């Protein structure tokens, strides 16, 4: 038997869902490395406002991106529910600051709907689709299209 045989196409996706401004979003579970409680973030000058700075995760320095600010949502005080989702984007690891983690959901391939077309005025390239949760629709995010290379590469730190 040929060991290079085609692998079956998955008939479902697993999403980690999280909240921003009481709206639900999903990231493919295979991208998630871990979920951390809110930890101090060291600001770095001259970064875009949504790149909050860096954090030290067991000796590895990671950029931390506030998805609330990335989506131009109002700033709020961090709470006990605020978490940093550590995710893999291409060959980089990044912290994503979110209001709260919601659930892990299995979504069948045919339940993942295409992103709505808002015309050229609205960039939806970072949306892989939408899917139904228990109560409402959640937006499935494409991290490669949501985050630019500049957001994933740390600036040279003095003394590094």
In order along its 160 residues, the chain shows pLDDT tens digits of 455 555 555 578 899 999 999 899 999 999 999 999 998 899 999 888 899 999 999 988 999 999 999 999 998 888 888 999 999 988 889 999 999 998 888 888 888 888 777 767 666 678 888 888 887 889 899 888 888 766 666 555 444 4
pLDDT attached to residue 158: 46
Exposed, middle or buried by CB within 10 Å (0-12, 13-18, 19+), for 107? Answer: buried
pTM of the model: 0.81
How large is the C-alpha radius of gyration of the chain?
A: 17
Residues 68 and 74: their CA atoms lie apart, in Å, by 7
pLDDT at 64: 95
Residues with Cβ < 8 Å from 104, sequence gap 6 or more? 14, 15, 16, 17, 29
87 and 143 in contact (C-beta within 8 Å)? yes
Q: How far apart are the first and last CA of the chain?
A: 52
Report DSSP state, residue 49: T
Element housing 146 (H / E): helix 143-146
Q: Which domains does the chain have, with CATH numbers?
A: 13-150 (2.40.50.180)
């Amino acid at each position: 038997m040929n060991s290079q045989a085609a692998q079956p196409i998955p008939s479902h996706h697993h999403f980690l869902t999280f909240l921003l401004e009481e709206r639900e979003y999903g990231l493919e579970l295979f991208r998630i490395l871990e979920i951390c409680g809110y930890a101090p973030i060291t600001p770095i000058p001259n970064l875009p406002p949504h790149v909050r700075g860096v954090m030290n995760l067991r000796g590895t320095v990671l950029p931390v991106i506030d998805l609330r600010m990335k989506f131009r949502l109002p700033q709020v005080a961090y709470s006990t529910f605020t978490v940093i989702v550590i995710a893999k984007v291409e060959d980089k690891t990044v912290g994503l600051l979110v209001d709260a983690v919601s659930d892990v959901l299995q979504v069948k391939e045919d339940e993942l709907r295409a992103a709505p077309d808002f015309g050229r005025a609205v960039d939806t390239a970072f949306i892989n689709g939408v899917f139904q949760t228990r109560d409402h629709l959640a937006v499935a995010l494409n991290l490669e299209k949501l985050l630019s290379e500049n957001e994933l590469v740390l600036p040279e730190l003095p003394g590094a």
